[in-house]
Amino acid sequence: MSSLIHSHAQWGPADQIGAGNLLTAERRLAALASVTQGRIYDLSHEIHMGAPFMAPNQTPFLMSIWASWKDTIKRRRAMGARNDAGTNLERIEMTAHVGTHIDALGHFSQGEMLYNGNRAADVVTNWGLEKLGIEHAPPMITRGVLFDVAAARGGPYLEPGQTVTPDDLKRAADAGGFAVQPGDIALIRTGWGRYFAVDNTKYLQGEPGLDIPGARWLIEQGVVAIGADTMAVEVLPNPDHGLAMPVHAFALAECGVYLIENLMLEALAADRIAASCFILLATKFRGATGAPVRPVALV
C-alpha cells in the first residue's frame, strides 16, 4: 500500500475523521477560488416513499403527517386562541442510508474491527455508535473530480457486475484533464443512476462499480471520499462471489475514507464539468451510521 493509505494510522489513536484530515484550509480556499461562473449543480435525488432500498438491512422510507392544520386549529381554539394558525408537522421513519447519503466511518467493520482500532463490541450500541458516528464527519468543501467512466467506455452506462478498474479511472481522469490531488473527492459516473426511483427493481438487481483495486488506486491518491451514481459505490455482485461488500470494509474500516451513494451526476457529465468546488455538509445525527445529504458542485 502507498504511504497515503498507511498515513491514516498517523492521525493518532483518538482520530475519528479519517481522510477528513486532508481537508485543509488550503484545499478549501483553492476550491472556492475555482468558482468563476456562480453556476450550481445539485447532485442529490429527492427523498420520498418511492426511493429504492436494499432489504433486509434497509427499511422503506415512510413519512406521515403527525399534526395537521385541522387538529392544531381545533386545539388552539379550545385553549382560547382567536386566530386560526394551523400547523402541519410530519413524522419520518427511515434508515440514514436512504436516497443520496454519506456513510459514516462506523458504518462498516472488518470482522470485529472498526476504523482506527476501535472494536465494534465497544462502539456499537442499541442506541447508535459511541464513536465514529456521522456527527464526526467534517464539512466537506474541496475539489470534486468527475470520473465519467461510462463516457470513457463509450456507452451510455455500465451494466451490473462490470468493474471500474484503475485503468478506467486513469482514462476518465485523462479525458477530464485532471490529476487527482490529496483532499479531492472522487465522483464516479457509471450511468446506472438513470434507474434510481425510475425502475427500482432494475436499479437494485446489481450495479457497476469499484472493486478493491480501483478503490485502492483512488485512496492511494489521497481522496477524502468516493461517491458514485449507484446504491453502494462498489460492483455488485462482486466478481469473486465469495466476497461481500469488500470496498465498504476497505474504504471505511481500514482506510477511513467516506463513501457517498446515489449521487445524481448526469447534468455534471452532460456539461463536461470535470472539476468543481464540491460542498457536502452531513447533518450531525449523533451516533448515526450515515446521513442523507444534498451535495452540490459549484463552477
CA distance 261 to 192: 12
Provide CATH 3.50.30.50 ranges for the chain. Answer: 3-52+96-298
Region 130-155 average pLDDT: 97
What's the CA angle centered on 289, arms 287 and 293, to 5 degrees?
A: 105
When pLDDT is cut at 50, 70 and 90, the band that residue 1 belongs to is very low
CA distance 149 to 179: 15
For domain 3-52+96-298, give the CATH number.
3.50.30.50
When pLDDT is cut at 50, 70 and 90, the band that residue 128 belongs to is very high
State the pLDDT at residue 10: 77
C-alpha dihedral over 48, 130, 27, 189, to 10 degrees? -40
Q: Are 52 and 196 in contact (CB under 8 A)?
A: yes
When pLDDT is cut at 50, 70 and 90, the band that residue 5 belongs to is low
The three-class DSSP label of residue 246 is helix
The answer, yes or no, to whether residue 178 has pLDDT greater than 60, is yes
The amino acid present at 267, given as its one-letter code, is A
Residue 103: Cβ within 10 Å count: 26
pLDDT digits (tens, 9 = 90+) for 183-234: 999 999 999 999 999 999 999 999 999 999 999 999 999 999 999 999 999 9
When pLDDT is cut at 50, 70 and 90, the band that residue 9 belongs to is low
Query: DSSP H helical segments within 61-183, as ranges?
Result: 69-78, 120-123, 149-152, 166-176
